[in-house]
Amino acid sequence: MTNLDWFAQILLAGIFLIAGLGKVFIFHHQTDSGQSGMSSGSLELTRKAVYFIAMLEIAAALALIVPIRLWRPEVLPLLAASGLALLMVAAGIYRHRRGESTVPIVALFLLTLFVIIGHVV
Q: For the chain, give every domain's residue range.
A: 3-32+45-120
Lowest mean pLDDT among 1-15, 65-79, 102-116: 65-79
Q: What is the pLDDT of residue 110?
A: 96
State pTM to two decimals.
Answer: 0.81
Indicate the pLDDT class of residue 35, thresholds 50, 70 and 90. Answer: low
Q: Give the pLDDT mean for 71-81.
A: 83
Q: Give the pLDDT mean for 32-58.
A: 74
Q: What number of other Cβ atoms are within 10 A of residue 6's Cβ? A: 13
Classify burial at 70, counting beta carbons within 10 Å of its beta carbon; exposed 0-12, middle 13-18, buried 19 or more.
Answer: exposed
